[in-house]
Chain A
């Protein structure tokens, strides 16, 4: 029993505990959820201990125990430089979401907070699982609470959005499940590290065609979740209809499940197929960057605007991942966290505005800076972070991604950089229309300034925006160390290693030929 097991299972215990709270006492549910989620966050800070003074590249807090005997499915969890920060992001945002929903959620309060904590369980599990089957289990579990969060507490078209969200993800999951079972039948294990070891030593090889199919099966599941253009259509619906806390968790953490899966599974397991399809994937990523930005530009609805900006931002992450360079990967992972912080903050602020004015239309606002100057300042900082102003977090991530992409292919950078410019356009234009100008009577009447609870929710994110933008040493070394490992696992030079490691008859000739060609 390690600290990680505790951090993973506390949410499940918390979920069951919240179910026992009497239904007619909503305040007890709120307090309970806040205490539980803060407790989990504090516990999860302990995971930083090994990373604080050094950046070990290996796995920390590993537990590897048998769960199901046949087929051998293991409870194998651990954190490394990649998953650590995503776990912390989940545990940080859950109490923030509890605060955000404090007043906003006024019916079926107990169930709401119970589902929120259950969601945290699924999310942490996805990031720490090292057994493919366990990973799939958490992947699916995280779907269920989000489905209810959108469906019960969402806006008018919530049912459509919830069902669409569930079905989209389900289709991808089924592809991935097929591939997982196929991998098991070939390798005899679900343990990710063992499968990886077999691939690295050449004991497990696929012909290029099979590898491509397996890659695509995993890729599709992750691409839907990210979402990569043109599989993104569920996202604006889900975001617009979800309650604020749902949007925050969805954008900040759930989308990262997809990019995390790409980095963790798609690249190391199927390096050749991943490299071979990189130009196509990058093409889609750039389409996403530009398309997301252009659509965001013309959105009259604030939440939809932020949702499409997510499509654009996540395009950068995918671009970084498939640049196959150290900087690109570092930037991509850093950008995952940045997006979690700044887009989470944007959704939160839009939620605050909705609570006051009960409208998401930009046209319903204007001149908000006059009655609510503090809200305006906070929104401005978040906007600037989102468009990548230096000294704020997104700048670092986008810069690294672009640098990495430039090493691979400079043309990509030209198009991607357009996305950065466009992001400044749509965000600043939004800010101008909503906050400047003359405040109408109803805006003055409704738009009160930030309250204490709201400050408590937004302040940690503001601090992080500055911290992550100025003091990258806290985060990047551990991320880089892990990315270097992943990059090494995807090296095509492996072909020669296989030749040396395995008897010549053991490896199929076409694979070697293809790999040798690519290595040159």
Chain B
């Protein structure tokens, strides 16, 4: 009798990445407490990187054992594996780009790495959750670690503001999500996604109840992906948080939130799509437009990237609106390309900003091309990918998204979305303008050479973008295979 409730060994393998990440995180917290300060130097980062690589391998092993785990609470499929690899990869790049940053800001602490690891545990759970309660737990694990990360430099006022804002609005959003979960539980009696789908398919429940639940849950996710009208926290938080943390926050938790958004709406609410597709249509358009037009006005590069990340969330929502296998594959591809792009861009920002993040205005990038041509060229690749110039991953991401949208006969959304990306070109070009067309300013003149870890993160991201831009088919065919039907 008891055996039925004891997990089998293959179920443990299915949560191997979460286990590894948790253990390494705890180990770091433990070492932080017992090792003397002078011996700490330079052990946490390699340990974290080793843990992340192990977790990547763990995700692939888990994929070999794919199937449901723990009474259908989790499900390991291609979709889950894709997002697990994605968020862990994001973690890896974020850690690489933080090493120099933390040293520069004189706060090389183990807990930074531990928090990143814990946040990844939550995102990894979200990627594989098949149950609204698990989604909630994953979201909370990820979010709480992220709140602390946003305020990591605790002596910095902006860090504190950023963390507080993120925490207050984030918990507000979670409340919406929970409320939605309660509604759907009340309406169908289930929290498991497949069961909810089955219950809604039989249609004995009032559709209005399910519709309200879907709307509430959507609001919860909309906060996390910074969709309009719940976007206002994003620029403030990305501006205030340490640059590598902003990089991480703008990609990792977002990708995981999109994973659950896609899974919940295409699985559980797939049968009532006619009631939520128009809503998402409007939100997608508003998100793209507000993000892009607000970004035009920004003079702080972190804020600019914050608004740009809102716009990009809008593009991914276009793929969600398509509500098809092609759409989910396009969203997955886009998020992967965007992950490389944004982490890379924020890494260069972190590098240029110098101690105390003195230089974070767009104008501070003046003449970077003449002092650090390599870094400037890489940032150009990131910006071209954000604009969507061919031969970059960002272009193919957009291309697949709008192709999926046209497949779903969303002609107007496609056209408006593409025109939006022409608007976006304007503010990305502004950064290129100061980098290449202006004479070096104070920031560029005093810039030290980049550290090895940062270079790996930046050049690695750029390479990833170019590979996705020239040979996109392997990733897309994987996404199509793994994508939701």
Contact = CB atoms under 8 A, between A and B. Distances in A.
B389 A141 contact: yes
A170 B388 CA distance: 10
Contact of B418 (A141, A163, A167, A177): A177
Contacts of A274: none
A354 interface: no
Interface in B365-403: 370, 373, 384, 387, 389-391, 395, 399, 402-403
Interface string A117-156: 0000000000000000000110011011001100110000
Contact of A185 (B390, B407, B421, B476): B407
Contacts of A185: 403, 406-407
Contacts of B167: none
B422 A170 contact: yes
B403 A158 contact: no
A298 interface: no
By secondary structure, the B interface counts as: helix
A137 B433 contact: no
Interface string B209-231: 00000000000000000000000
Given A148-B436, A151-B437, A171-B419, A69 B399 contact: no
A182 interface: yes
B450 interface: no
A177 B387 CA distance: 14
Interface string A158-181: 110011001100110111011001
A108 interface: yes
Interface in A19-76: 23, 68-71
Contact of B433 (A23, A140, A162): A162
B390 A69 contact: no
A9 interface: no
A147 B425 CA distance: 12
B472 interface: yes
A436 interface: no
A70 B419 CA distance: 25
A184 interface: yes
Given A141-B391, A166-B425, A166-B429, A178 B402 contact: yes
A70 B480 contact: yes
B107 interface: no
A158 B436 CA distance: 12
A70 B333 CA distance: 13
Contacts of B402: 177-178, 181
Interface string B396-417: 0001001100110001001100
B403 A167 contact: no
B421 A182 contact: no
**Band of interface residues on A:** 20 to 34
Contacts of B172: none
By secondary structure, the A interface counts as: helix
Given A178-B414, A185-B406, A68 B437 contact: no
B473 A174 contact: no
Contacts of B407: 185
B315 to A, nearest CB: 13
Given A166-B429, A170-B425, A174-B421, A70 B477 contact: yes
Contacts of B472: 68
B423 to A, nearest CB: 8
B477 A174 contact: no
**Band of interface residues on B:** 20 to 34
B436 A137 contact: no
B298 to A, nearest CB: 16
A69 B429 contact: no
Contact of A70 (B414, B421, B422, B473): B473
B389 A159 contact: no
B471 interface: yes
B76 to A, nearest CB: 25
Given A148-B436, A174-B422, A68 B477 contact: no
Given A137-B391, A159-B437, A185-B407, A144 B384 contact: yes
Contact of B403 (A68, A162, A184): A184
Of the candidates B384, B411, B422, the one having the most CB atoms from chain A within 10 angstroms of its own CB is B422
Contacts of A167: 422, 425-426, 429
Given A71-B403, A108-B370, A177-B418, A140 B389 contact: yes
A169 to B, nearest CB: 9
Interface in B343-374: 370, 373
Given A141-B390, A144-B389, A182-B406, A69 B473 contact: yes
Contacts of A178: 402, 406, 411, 414-415, 418
B437 A162 contact: yes
Contacts of A140: 389-390, 395
Nearest to A171: B422
A111 to B, nearest CB: 8
A167 B421 CA distance: 10
Contacts of A148: 436
Contacts of A162: 433, 437
7 contacts: A147-B429, A162-B433, A163-B426, A163-B430, A171-B419, A174-B419, A178-B414
Interface of A: 23, 68-71, 108, 136-137, 140-141, 143-144, 147-148, 151-152, 158-159, 162-163, 166-167, 170-171, 173-175, 177-178, 181-182, 184-185
Per CB-CB distance, the 8 closest pairs between chain A and chain B, nearest first, are A174-B418, A137-B390, A69-B473, A170-B422, A151-B437, A171-B422, A68-B473, A140-B390
